[in-house]
């Protein structure tokens, strides 16, 4: 039995199917929420204090054990990620004694991120799955774009609750909206909020640009061009200002990088033209709604300023170890100089400020160092594929300055660590072909 299972696990087809399932459940966040007193500790239900188990967690756990089953020295390879375990011991473990049940859950979430990273490094280092990952990711990001578009046009949910869609309505409190002549819900897809969806769509758009360049024939380039337009259209319906900025900067870095490395080809020019046209058409179609987002005096911006001040206060009081894993939300009122409603008690909207407030300055600096080390590793071999991965990571850095979801929400948290894992696998075992990522 063991021999038969090992033979199955060693087949590339098994890991191709696994990769598709992993991406599917990453896009469709089915979960079970374990309700307890912590879920309502802020005065109303909060995803940021509740405990959940996602299907994608189970998929990652299975992948973790499967790769260990067949990879000789798998445990040794995983233990070679010494910095992970040093970081866990020095920075995280001291906080578990604060509130054992609460801290242990958030400790487990961080462990899950590290497991995702290590598993992806081993799987993608062992099998050539990066091209499949990108094409599958783009397929699902296109589906999410269409869902977001139809949600916005219908101004209602589409009945896909079994895949994680929320029961959206412009007249229900708590949903992200824009205000013009009336209230309009933004595109959610099956995500908990439009902003994390926008991060996925930025990645989809960058991947589409790369696939247009790497495609061997015009038919494929037309196909990827259509998906590029649909993803751009979906991104606009999220009305995420940070995502627009991230796309512009990361996209510019991608194409300028090609120019500087003398890899800018006719296909690169075609990809850039399609991207510019897609942005222009999408913005034109929704310009009346987009104008309402051109402001820095709206409630969302004002609340971000308040959260930033709270984060700075937390760091000043607990600079070494922070206030504890997942505990910044619990202490928002304590550190706020203005009264906060239950709906306003949210994580600090800056990744590194949030990390420093919960894990201490050392913890935040270790995270920053790790991210930058991956970005630096791509610079040693500036293939078009490495430029793509670098531009994706750059877009994450930009988004991290305006929101917390790479730190707090399951989908974007895992997306970050999966991309980091792919980068590690790519730089350790680079592709032999420039056209294949």
Q: Tell me, what's the pLDDT at 84?
A: 60
Total count of domains within the chain: 1
Contact in structure between 390 and 257 (CB atoms under 8 Å) = yes
CA 74 to chain centre: 27
Q: Establish if 433 belongs to a structural domain.
A: no
Amino acid 431: pLDDT: 53
36 part of a folded domain: yes
Do β-strands 177-179 and 183-185 pair in parallel, antiparallel, or remain unpaired?
A: antiparallel
Q: Is residue 109 part of a domain?
A: yes
The answer to the question of residue 436 being in a domain is no
Q: What per-residue confidence (pLDDT) applies to 282? A: 94
* pLDDT value at residue 96: 59
Q: Identify the pLDDT of residue 222.
A: 96
Contact 132, 139 (CB under 8 A): no
Count of CB atoms within 10 A of residue 350's CB?
Answer: 20
**What phi and psi values does residue 99 have, to the nearest 5 degrees?**
-150, 95
Cα atoms found within 13 Å of the Cα of residue 287, Cβ hemisphere only: 6
352 domain residue, yes or no: yes
Pairing relationship of beta strands 31-34 and 51-54 according to DSSP bridges? antiparallel
**Parent domain of 268:** 2-428
Task: Calculate the dihedral angle through the C-alpha atoms of 422, 425, 428, 429, rounding to the nearest 10 degrees.
Answer: -110
The reported pLDDT for the residue numbered 1 is 47
Q: Does pTM surpass 0.95?
A: no
Residue by residue, pLDDT tens for the chain (437 residues) are: 456 767 777 788 999 999 999 999 999 988 888 888 888 888 888 888 888 899 999 998 888 888 777 665 455 555 555 556 666 665 566 665 566 677 778 877 887 888 888 889 888 988 889 999 999 999 999 999 999 999 999 999 899 888 888 888 888 888 888 888 788 999 999 999 999 999 999 999 999 999 999 998 999 999 999 999 999 999 999 999 999 999 999 999 999 999 998 889 999 999 999 999 999 999 999 988 888 777 777 788 888 999 999 999 999 998 988 888 888 998 999 999 888 888 889 999 999 999 999 988 988 998 898 899 999 999 888 899 999 999 999 999 999 999 999 999 999 999 999 999 999 998 876 554 445 56
Tokens of 161: 């609750």
Q: Which of 298, 289, 174 is nearest to 233 (CA)?
A: 289
215 lies in a domain?
Answer: yes
The reply to whether 212 falls in a domain is yes
d(CA 93, CA 61): 22
Bridge partners (DSSP) of residue 32 are: 53
In a domain, 435, yes or no: no
pLDDT of residue 257: 94
d(Cα 201, Cα 210) in Å, to the nearest integer?
14
């Amino acid at each position: 039995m063991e021999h038969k299972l090992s033979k199955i696990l060693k087949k590339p087809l098994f890991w191709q199917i696994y990769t598709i399932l992993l991406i599917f459940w990453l896009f469709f966040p089915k979960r079970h929420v374990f309700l307890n007193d912590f879920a309502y500790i802020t005065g109303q239900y909060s995803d940021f204090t509740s405990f959940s188990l996602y299907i994608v967690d189970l998929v990652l756990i299975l992948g973790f054990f499967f790769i260990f089953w067949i990879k000789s020295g798998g445990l040794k390879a995983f233990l070679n990620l010494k910095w992970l375990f040093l970081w866990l011991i020095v920075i995280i473990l001291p906080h578990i004694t604060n509130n054992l049940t609460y801290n242990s859950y958030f400790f487990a979430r961080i462990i899950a991120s590290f497991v995702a990273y290590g598993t992806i490094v081993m799987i993608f280092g062992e099998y050539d799955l990066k091209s499949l990952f990108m094409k599958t990711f783009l397929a699902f990001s296109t589906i999410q774009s269409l869902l977001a578009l139809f949600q916005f046009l219908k101004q209602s949910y589409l009945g896909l609750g079994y895949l994680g869609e929320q029961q959206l309505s412009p007249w229900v409190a708590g949903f992200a909206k824009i205000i013009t002549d009336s209230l309009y819900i933004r595109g959610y897809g099956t995500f908990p909020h439009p902003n994390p969806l926008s991060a996925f769509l930025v990645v989809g758009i960058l991947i589409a640009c790369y696939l247009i360049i790497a495609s061997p024939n015009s038919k494929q380039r037309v196909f990827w061009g259509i998906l590029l337009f649909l993803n751009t259209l979906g991104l606009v319906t999220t009305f995420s200002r940070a995502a627009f900025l991230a796309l512009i900067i990361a996209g510019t870095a991608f194409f300028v990088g090609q120019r500087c490395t003398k890899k800018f080809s006719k296909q690169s020019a075609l990809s850039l033209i399609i991207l510019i046209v897609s942005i222009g058409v999408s913005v034109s179609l929704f310009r009346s709604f987009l104008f309402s987002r051109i402001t820095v005096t709206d409630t969302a911006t004002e609340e971000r300023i308040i959260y930033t001040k709270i984060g700075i206060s937390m760091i000043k009081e607990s600079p070494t170890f922070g206030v504890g894993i997942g505990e910044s939300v619990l202490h928002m009122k304590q550190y706020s100089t203005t009264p906060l409603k239950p709906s306003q008690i949210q994580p600090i909207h800056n990744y590194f400020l949030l990390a420093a407030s919960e894990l201490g300055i050392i913890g935040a600096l270790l995270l920053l160092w790790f991210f930058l080390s991956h970005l630096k590793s791509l610079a040693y071999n500036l293939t078009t594929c490495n430029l793509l991965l670098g531009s994706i990571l750059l877009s994450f850095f930009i988004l991290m300055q305006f929101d917390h979801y790479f730190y707090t929400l399951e989908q974007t948290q895992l997306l970050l660590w999966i991309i980091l894992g792919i980068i590690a696998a790519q730089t350790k075992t680079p592709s032999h072909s420039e056209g294949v990522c």
